[in-house]
Amino acid sequence: MPSPRALPLPPTSFDGKMRDPMDNASARDDRRAPLLRRCVKIFRRQRRLFAGVALCMLVLGLLQLPGPILTMRVIDSVTSRGAPLSIGGISLMCAALLGALLSVRLISILQRFTLEKFKYRIIFSMQRALFSHALKLPAAHYLRQSHGYMMSRVNEDPYRLQGILADTIVSILGDVITLAIGVGFLFYVHWRMALVSVIVLPLLVVLFTRLRTSLKADFRRVQEQSAKVSRFLGESLSNVLTIKLLTLEALSRRQLAGNLSELIRQRFHILRRRMTYENLIAVLTGVVPIAILWYGAIEIVNGRLSVGAFIAFNGFLAYLYRPAEGIVIALLSMQGSIAAVERIFEILDTPPERYGPRAGGRPRWANGGTSPAIAFCEVSFRYPGKKAWVLRDVCFEAARGEMLAVSGPSGVGKTTLLSLIPRLVEQQRGMVLIDGVDHRQIHLLSLRRRVAVVSQETRLFSGSILENLRRADRQVTVESAREALRIAAADEFVDELPEGLATELGETGLNLSAGQRQRLLIARAILRDPAILILDEATASLDAELEATVLANLRAWQGQRTVIAVSHRPAIHEFAHRSLELRDGKVVPRVALDPRCQLEESPRSLLSSPRILPIVN
């Protein structure tokens, strides 16, 4: 009877919907596009909110115009330079000024709300994109980077975008509008004085370009150091019991203080640099009003300028230098955000796991149930950056309905060998065949749905026991959960808990014993209804009697499923059909306990066997 799991993979696996998201052309184009264009592409999704903010800015800029103009008109009329105004006219102008003031406040509130909404929508969408990409990164990525470090990059870096969003793009937009209005009006009032006023602007540009590059590198260093602090905190707090037992409290405090003082040193380095340049800019822009005072006074004495126009000119001078200074300072703060954006894109550009079948096309399954469930064909593997091979030309196979025991000295590569099956790591040479198909040709999600792993790490999720079991499959009923718990010999202890299946587990299930956690994990794996069950020392924390019960139950439950169990304990060899040993990177057979499960062909012969059909397009 063919195994129910030997059927072709679900059609959704190959219908294109679950394609590797980074394989599409637009994602590849994105990686090549300049940073600014990529940012604009993200901001464009919130263009309505952005347009709202820009409109508010424009109106606010225009509402600043009446102030100096009306002031000039009133002063000139009372100093008898311009046409005289009646008391009614003056009152009307003051009422208009009051109206402008109130409108400015109202629109500022509207602008602030729209801006915050715009900002948070973008920040949250970046966090979502980063989290979703972080889940798609190959497991190998997490072998190199700590979780705390990744958490800082996913959680904190998007917040650094605020600099770009609020302090920069939006304030620059407002400043540019004010600057344009200011420059126009200055030239309208007195073009010669206006020329004197704008002469400092090119100097500001030079100062900015000098500082920009070095500041960006400084910001990047600060962000890297801040991620280091997060990593240290995450690691220390999750290992707090070990720290206590090893009495490492003082050392940990010193390490944190060292990390923090380095962070402070780097921040002050940036501050010193910024203060130097900002004060230079302030002096430059402060010199101009003095020059204008001198030049304007001479112009008034010579009768070429009215007092009202002079006051208005000085009023508009603020429209020139405040925004010009604002633009330079905002562009400088933007360097920090640009460094954060670069870090965000670094993660988004890291190629994810390959999801789809490599060569494209739909794999045809080997005929019926004759192919072994798992076959390793001359598989070699070494960890990235390491010279030594952990596995060398490993060949073995496991049939459907077989329980295979794997043993071997600690550190020989048993966990690594098992990690190859669900493609947590990928071999550099050779092939792993699942039901006769190269497993790289199977969609990753389909592959992982067929394989359940109970690893050496016994971490659960927070939530109730039932919720944890439902992580295997959301449709799990209370009855099926109970049955799985029975197989995993976990029913008794769960029943004894005051709230049974509804018992809340602390974070990562820490309020259970290691053996209880292991049994829950076995139950969860059973509920996935896998074709292949991998147990990596999954019963190591159980006493001999419980271990025997679990293994006997698994044999009874197994049916056509394949079970591979790594264990150092002798019990496993009593229950397994066959036992293999991993030694010096090679798999060698131990005594075969059940002759029925001896396989006729060696995996090497499988490579040229007609049972393995080619991939058809």
Closest by Cα among 561, 560, 565 to 539: 565
Nearer to Mg ion, 162 or 415 (CB): 415
Q: Closest distance between Mg ion and the C-beta of residue 407, in Å?
A: 11
Strand, helix or coil for residue 374: strand
Query: How many residues does this entry show for the chain?
Result: 617
Binding flag, residue 390, ligand ATP (CB under 6 A): yes
Minimum distance, C-beta of residue 126 to ligand ATP, in the bound complex (Å): 29
CB of 429 to ligand ATP, least distance (A): 16
Q: Select from 27-35, 36-44, 182-190, 413-421 the region that touches ligand ATP (CB under 6 A).
A: 413-421
Phi, psi of 298 (to 5 degrees): -60, -45
Q: Is 412 in the site for ligand ATP (CB under 6 A)?
A: yes
In the complex, the smallest distance separating the C-beta of residue 111 from ligand ATP, rounded to whole angstroms, is 51
Of positions 410, 475, 608, 617, contacts ligand ATP by CB under 6 A: 410
User: What residues does 397 pair with on adjacent strands?
Assistant: 375
Binding ligand ATP (rule: CB under 6 A), the pick from 383, 389, 493, 557 is 383
Confirm if 219 and 367 have CB atoms less than 8 A apart: no
CA 470 to chain centre: 25
Q: Element (H or E) spanning 30, and its range?
A: helix 25-32
Select the span of 380-388, 411-419, 490-498, 543-551 touching Mg ion (CB under 5 A).
Answer: 411-419
Question: DSSP label at 164?
Answer: I
Nearest-CB residue for Mg ion? 415
User: Please, are residues 476 and 524 in contact by the beta-carbon 8 Å criterion?
Assistant: no
* Binder among 411, 498, 595, 614 for ligand ATP (CB under 6 A): 411
Residue 559 makes CB contacts below 8 A (sequence gap 6+) with 401
The Cα 25–Cα 27 span in angstroms is: 5
Three-state secondary-structure class, residue 617:
coil
Give the tokens for residue 246.
């090893």
Among 52, 158, 363, 413, binds ligand ATP (CB under 6 A): 413
Binding mask 133-152 for ligand ATP (x = CB under 6 A): ----------x---------
* Residues 86-125, interacting with Mg ion (CB under 5 A): none
**Whether 271 contacts 277, CB under 8 Å:** no
Could you give the strand order of the β-sheet that contains 578-583, starting from the edge strand earlier in sequence? 451-454, 532-536, 562-566, 403-407, 578-583, 586-589
Given candidates 415, 458, 516, 567, which one binds ligand ATP under the rule CB under 6 A? 415
Of 362 and 586, CB closest to ligand ATP: 586
User: Residues 420 to 479: which contact ligand ATP by CB under 6 A?
Assistant: 456
Give the three-class secondary structure for 443: coil
Does the protein bind ligand ATP through residue 587 (CB under 6 A)?
Answer: no
Q: Report d(CA 62, CA 56) in Å as an integer.
A: 10
Task: CB nearer to ligand ATP: give 335 or 416.
Answer: 416
Candidate segments 12-20, 274-282, 405-413, 438-446, binder of ligand ATP by CB under 6 A: 405-413
Q: Containing H/E element for 403?
A: strand 403-407
Which of Mg ion, ligand ATP, none sits in contact with 386, Cβ below 5 to 8 A by type?
Answer: ligand ATP
Cα–Cα distance measured from residue 413 to residue 280, given in angstroms and rounded to the nearest whole number: 62
Single-letter residue type at 303: G
Instruction: Report if residue 415 touches Mg ion, rule: CB under 5 A.
Output: yes
- For the window 371-410, what string marks contact with Mg ion as x by the rule CB under 5 A? ----------------------------------------
Applying CB under 5 A, the residues found at the interface with Mg ion are 415
Applying CB under 6 A, the residues found at the interface with ligand ATP are 143, 383, 386, 390, 408, 410-416, 456
